[in-house]
Amino acid sequence: MIVSPELAQFTEPLHLESGRSLNRFELAYECYGRLNDRKDNAILIGHGLSGTAHAAGRHHPEDFRPGWWDAAIGPGKMFDTDQFFVVCSNVLGGCGGSSGPSSENPDTGRPYALDFPVVTILDMVRAQVRLSDHLGIERWHCVAGGCLGGAQALTWGQHFSGRVNSVLSVGATAETSAHSLAFFEVIRETIRRDPNWNGGNYYGGPAPTSGLTLGSLIGMLFWMSPDAMDTRFGREKVKDGPQFTLGSEYKMQAFLQNIATNVERKFDPNTLLYVTRAMDYFDLSRGYPNLQGALESFPDRTLLVSYKTDWRYPPHKIERLAEAIRRVGRSVEHVTLESIFGHGAYLFDVEKLTPVVRKFLT
Amino acid sequence: MIVSPELAQFTEPLHLESGRSLNRFELAYECYGRLNDRKDNAILIGHGLSGTAHAAGRHHPEDFRPGWWDAAIGPGKMFDTDQFFVVCSNVLGGCGGSSGPSSENPDTGRPYALDFPVVTILDMVRAQVRLSDHLGIERWHCVAGGCLGGAQALTWGQHFSGRVNSVLSVGATAETSAHSLAFFEVIRETIRRDPNWNGGNYYGGPAPTSGLTLGSLIGMLFWMSPDAMDTRFGREKVKDGPQFTLGSEYKMQAFLQNIATNVERKFDPNTLLYVTRAMDYFDLSRGYPNLQGALESFPDRTLLVSYKTDWRYPPHKIERLAEAIRRVGRSVEHVTLESIFGHGAYLFDVEKLTPVVRKFLT
C-alpha cells in the first residue's frame, strides 16, 4: 500500500486550554481506503507518544518499514480499508508535520522551540475537529487508538459525542497515574540533561539525541513486560561475545543497544516534552465534580481493551472507567486480553485484538 | 547508636571468577552489638546496589541520616543487637571504603577506574569469607540481605554452607531476569552517556553525577510500586505552583526532582557499573546442570521473603527457588508479604518484616 502524506492548514485561531492561542496551525495526516458517498465509514486513529500520521503503508516502495500500525490498517485487516476510510493525524505539538516546537513560529520566522504553547489532549482533539471539518466528515464511525491515542478517543467521546458514533480505547485509563507522572518526568529529564538540549534551542545545531535515546531505552523497560523479555531473550548470552567485561554480554542487552543505535533521528526531542506533558494533564474528570459527571454526554458505543500484563494501565483501572460509563447509562464493553507485550500489546499483538475490534466496528 | 567504620586489609591474592586476581584488597565494615564468647551470635548483612557498610546508627551525633537499614538493626529491633552481633561489609567493587574502581591501584598509584576487574557475587562472598576469618567468626548464625544482599546470602548458602547456619534472603530470585538485565544495562548507559564519564577516567575531575542522578530516578520508577505512588502522591499538584508549563507541576514530580538534587554525591558512578554487572551474572545454576544440582550443599534453614507488589522479583519466582531447595531435602520457609513499596519494601516496610525475621532467627 503506497500512501501520501497530506497537510491541512488552518488560519482561524485555536484557543488552547492554557489561555494561549495558536493563530495558525497545520496538521499532517494520512488516509487509507475510501470515504463513501454517505461519508459514514470514516475512522479516526490517534497515535501514541512517539507516533506520527504515518500509520500504515509505505510512502515509497523501497521504504524499509511501513507505518506504525500497518498490521492493523489495510484491506481485510482490523481496520479494513475495503470497508472503512481510515484517517490518522499527527497530534498538535508533534513533529511529523503538524505544528509543534520544531515548526516555524510565524511571529519570528524561527522554530518555536519552547515558545510553543503547552497543549492538552483536549487541544489536540479540538485541532482534529478542525481536520474533520476540512475533510467534510460530520460524524466519525469510530475514533480509536492506544495509549495517547486511547486518551484522544476518550476525549472525543467526552467532548464531541455529537461527532463520533463510537469510541475504541486500548490501554488507556480515565486519568494518568502517579507512576506515569513520574515516568514522564524522568523521560523529560533525560532530554533536558543532554548538553545539546540547550534549553530547547538546538534547531540548526546538534539535537539532544543522546537524551532521546536514553528516553527510548527507559520506555522499553516499561512497554515490554518482564515475561515477554524472559520468553524472548531470557539469560542467553551473545554468541562468541566477550566475557567478564562491562559490555552488553547478554542478548537482551545487545537488543537494547541495537535500539539505541537505531533510534529515530527524525523524532524531535522537544515534542516528547510536549506530548508527555499533555499526558500528565490527562484526567477525564478534570473540571468536573467527578468521573461520572465528566461522562454525561458520552456516546452509546464504547469498547475498552486492557491487557493483563499492562501493569501501568491495569485492567482493574480500565474496568473502573467502564463502570463509570455504565453508570451514566451508556453501553460499554471492556475486554481484557492476554499478551506478553504489556502496554505495547496493541502494537505488537494485533492478531488477538483484531477479532474483538472487527466485531465492535460492524 | 554511634558506630565506627572499620577497615580490614588483605594481602593474600583473591582469585576471581574472571581468571584475574586482586593481589591485595580492603573491605570496609561496621559492627553492631557484641560477639559473644562462643562466637555463635554473629549475623552478616549484605547491602543493596547503592548501599555501603553503614547499615545502622550514626557516625557522628549530628549526622542527618542514620545507616540504610537502621530501622532493622539495633536494640530490640529486627536484628536485635542486644542478642546478636551484626556485621555489614561494603561489597568488593563498592565505593564505601572497600576496594573498587575508585580505589588506588597499587600497581599504578592511581585509581583503578575500569582497570578494576569485573567481580561476581561469588567473588564478593569470597572476600566476605576472608573478613569472617579476620573477625574470627567460624560460622555465621545467619547471612541476610535484600536484593543484591539477598543474592549474597543465597551464594553463601550455596558455596559456604559449612560457615553459615541459616540464610535469609528478601526479594531475591535464583537468577537475574531478562528484565533486570535490561534495567541494569539502561542504568549503566545513563552513566556512560554522561559527558563527564570519560571512559571511566573522571577521578580528580568532575564526576558523571548527572548520569548517576538519572540512574537513581529510573531506579525510583522500579522500586516504588505504582500503587504506592498513587497512594502517596496521586495526581496532587504542587501548591501555588506554575500551570501549563513543562516544569514539575505535580507533587510526584517535585518529589523526584528533590531526589535528583539530593543524590548521594559521594557514591561513585563506576561502582554502579560493577555491582549491576555482578547482578547480571547472578544465576545460582551457573556452572551446574540445573538449579537443584546447584543447591546440593545448601544449609538446612532458609527464609525467603517476597512481596506481592514486587513485580521484578515476583513471589512465584521466589517460590520456584523454595521448591528447588525443598527438593534437595532442606527446610525452607517462603513468606509473601503485603506492601505498597514493591522491591523497596525490605527497606521501607521493616515493621511487617520484623516479626517474620525475629521468629526465624530464634
Residue B204 CB contacts under 8 Å (≥ 6 apart), including other chains? none
pTM value > 0.80: yes
Domains detected in chain A: 6-176+283-361 (3.40.50.1820), 184-262 (1.10.1740.110)
Chain A residues touching B252 at Cβ < 8 A? 178, 181-182, 185
Amino acid, single-letter form, for residue A4: S
Query: CB-based contacts of A80: which residues, under 8 Å, 6+ apart?
Result: A33, A74, A358
Cβ A248–B185 below 8 Å, yes or no?
yes
Cβ within 8 Å, pair A233-B280: no
Q: pLDDT at residue A349 above 70? A: yes
Cβ atoms of residues B298 and B326 within 8 Å: no
Cell of A56: 500504515
Q: Give the closest of B217, B230, B249 to A178, CB-based.
A: B230
For A193, nearest residue in chain B (alpha carbons): B210
A245, closest residue in chain B (CA to CA): B118
What pLDDT is attached to residue A299?
97
Alpha helices (H) along A137-268: 148-159, 178-192, 209-223, 226-232, 251-262
Mean per-residue pLDDT, A202-218: 94
Q: What span, in angstroms and rounded, lies between the C-alpha atoms of B309 and B229? A: 12
Q: Which residue type occupies A218?
A: I
Which helix (H) or strand (E) element contains residue B111?
none
A117, A210, A283: residue with CB nearest B235 = A283
Q: Hey, CA dihedral for A146, A147, A153, A157, is it positive or negative?
A: positive
CB contact under 8 A, B19 and A244: yes
A17 contact residues in B (CB cutoff 8 A): 244
Which stretches within A30-147 are classed as H helix?
121-135
Cβ separation B250–A277 shorter than 8 A: no
Q: Helix, strand, or coil here: A35?
A: coil
A56–chain B nearest CA distance, Å: 30
Q: Closest partner residue to A179 among B213, B229, B249, by Cβ?
A: B229
- Reference A53, options A107, A116, A13, A99; nearest CA is A99
- Tell me what pLDDT residue A264 has: 67
- Would the CB atoms of A235 and B118 count as touching at under 8 Å? no
Q: Could you read off the pLDDT of A295-340 as tens digits, one per residue?
A: 999 999 999 999 998 989 999 999 999 999 999 999 999 999 999 8
- Rounded to the nearest angstrom, the minimum Cα separation between A304 and chain B is 21
Q: Report the C-alpha gap between B8 and B10 in whole angstroms.
A: 7
Chain A residue with minimum CA distance to B273: A246
Amino acid identity for residue A256 in this structure: L
| pLDDT, tens digit (0-9, with 9 covering 90-100), for A101-127 | 999 999 999 999 999 999 999 999 999
Nearest CA in chain B to A242: B18
| Nearest chain A alpha carbon to B259 | A186
CA-closest candidate to residue A209, choices A195, A224, A229, A228: A195
Q: To which H or E segment does residue A65 belong? A: none
Report ipTM for this prediction.
0.90
Closest chain B CA to residue A229: B178
**Do the Cβ atoms of B233 and A311 come within 8 Å?**
no
* Cell numbers linked to A320: 473502573
Task: For residues A29-50, give the mean pLDDT.
Answer: 97
- DSSP 8-state code for residue B203: T
Grid coordinates of B324: 528447588
A-chain residues within 8 Å CB-CB of B230? Answer: 177-179
Taking CB atoms and an 8 Å cut-off, how many pairs form between chains A and B? 151
In angstroms, the separation between the Cα of residue B339 and the nearest Cα of chain A is 16
- Could you give the percent of chain A with pLDDT greater than 90? 88
By CB neighbour count within 10 A (0-12 exposed, 13-18 middle, 19+ buried), where does A62 fall? Answer: exposed
At B225 the pLDDT is 80
Residue A283 confidence (pLDDT): 97
How far B58 CA lies from chain A's nearest CA (Å)?
Answer: 32
Contact residues on chain B for A285, CB-CB shorter than 8 A: none
Nearest to A221 among B117, B186, B277 (CB): B186
pLDDT (average), residues A77-97: 98
pLDDT score at B259: 83
User: How close A285 comes to chain B (CA, Å)?
Assistant: 12
Choose among A181, A193, A232: nearest Cβ to B210: A193
Structural contact between residues A71 and A350, judged by C-beta atoms closer than 8 angstroms: yes
**Which residue in this structure is represented by grid cell 515516568?**
A183
| Whole-angstrom distance, CA of residue A342 vs CA of residue A327 | 28
How are the residues of chain A apportioned to helix, strand and coil, as percentages rounded to the nearest 5?
Answer: 35, 15, 45
pLDDT score at A160:
98
- At B172, phi and psi to the nearest 5? -130, 135
Please report the pLDDT score of residue A79 as a whole number.
98
Nearest to B42 by CA among B54, B31, B56: B31
Residues 6 or more apart whose CB falls under 8 angstroms from that of B206 comprise B196
C-alpha cell belonging to residue A262: 537505531
Distance from CA of B253 to the nearest CA of A (A): 6
- Flag whether pLDDT at A265 surpasses 80: no
CB contact under 8 A, B274 and A246: yes
Rounded to a whole number, what is the distance in Å from the CA of B130 to chain A's nearest CA?
Answer: 23
Whole-angstrom distance, CA of residue B108 vs CA of residue A288: 68
Cα atoms in the Cβ-side hemisphere of radius 13 Å centred on B362 = 10
Per-residue pLDDT of chain B (362 residues; tens, 9 = 90+): 899 999 999 999 999 999 999 999 999 999 999 999 999 999 999 999 999 999 999 999 999 899 999 999 999 999 999 999 999 999 999 999 999 999 999 999 999 999 999 999 999 999 999 999 999 999 999 999 999 999 999 999 999 999 999 999 999 999 999 999 999 999 999 999 999 999 999 999 999 999 999 999 998 888 778 888 999 999 999 998 889 999 999 999 999 998 888 776 789 999 999 999 999 999 999 999 999 999 999 999 999 999 998 989 999 999 999 999 999 999 999 999 999 888 889 998 999 999 999 999 99
Nearest 5 degrees, angle CA A213-CA A219-CA A224? Answer: 130
Q: How far is it, in rounded angstroms, from Cα A217 to Cα B170? A: 28
Q: How far is the alpha carbon of B152 from chain A, nearest alpha carbon, in Å?
A: 19
Chain mean position to CA A332: 22
- By Cβ distance, the residue of A175, A186, A250 closest to B280 is A250
pLDDT top residue among A219 and A160: A160
Nearest chain A Cα distance for residue B109, angstroms: 23
Which pLDDT value is given to residue A263? 75
Contact B250 A181 (CB under 8 A): yes
pLDDT of residue A341: 84
CB atoms within 10 A of CB B159: 18
Q: Which residues, at least 6 apart from A230, have a Cβ–Cβ distance to it below 8 Å?
A: B177, B178, B179
- Smallest Cβ–Cβ distance between A185 and the set B114, B210, B253 belongs to B253
Residue in the block written with cell 548521594: B264
Q: Do B252 and A188 touch (CB under 8 A)?
A: no
CB contact under 8 A, B234 and A178: yes
Question: How many helices (H) and strands (E) are present in chain A, helices listed first?
Answer: 11, 12
Of B250, B277, B312, the CB nearest to A246: B277
**Do residue B234 and residue A189 have CB atoms under 8 angstroms apart?**
no
Q: Residues A265, A268, A272, A278: is their CA dihedral positive or negative? A: negative
User: What is the number of other CB atoms lying within 10 angstroms of the CB of residue A185?
Assistant: 26
